[in-house]
Amino acid sequence: MYRKLLKSKIHRAVVTGTELDYEGSITVDSNLLKQAGIKEFEFVQVVNVATGARFETYTLAGEPDSGIIELNGAAARLCYQGDRIIIMSHVLVSEPLPEIWHPTIVLVNDQNQVKEKQC
């Protein structure tokens, strides 16, 4: 049996833009992806802190240190520029689970730059 556990998250990132006429995904500053251990094209769950909307999409790597967090395609209808979101990646872990499990948590400032990383 496998359990789905939180692998990592980027906590309270600020949406910098939306692009409705796009195939779909979320573009994230590649440095933030690296710090969180999230790969380009990895599926993630996104939660809009303001509305509670939750959706799943895949990541695209944005320019490093740009602070970009842009929702593309249908996801662009679920958030507005300036909204705070949480981006979470998951992993399947086989039983028995490790006694100690620590997801990577990346806290960002208002410009989506890393202010703290917890492992």
Q: Give SS3 for 27.
A: strand
Which alpha helices (DSSP H) does the chain contain, by range? 30-36
Phi and psi at residue 82, to the nearest 5°: 95, -15
Which one of the listed residues 25, 30, 66, 89 is annotated catalytic? 25
Active site residue 89: no
Active site residue 25: yes
Residue 29 corresponds to which tokens in the numbers above?
Answer: 């500053």
Q: Which residues contact 99 (CB under 8 A, 6 or more apart)?
A: none
Which one of the listed residues 2, 22, 58, 80 is annotated catalytic? 58
Of the candidates 52, 39, 51, 50, the residue with the CA atom closest to the CA atom of residue 90: 39
Of the candidates 50, 49, 48, the residue with the CA atom closest to the CA atom of residue 75: 48
Write out the catalytic residue numbers: 25, 58
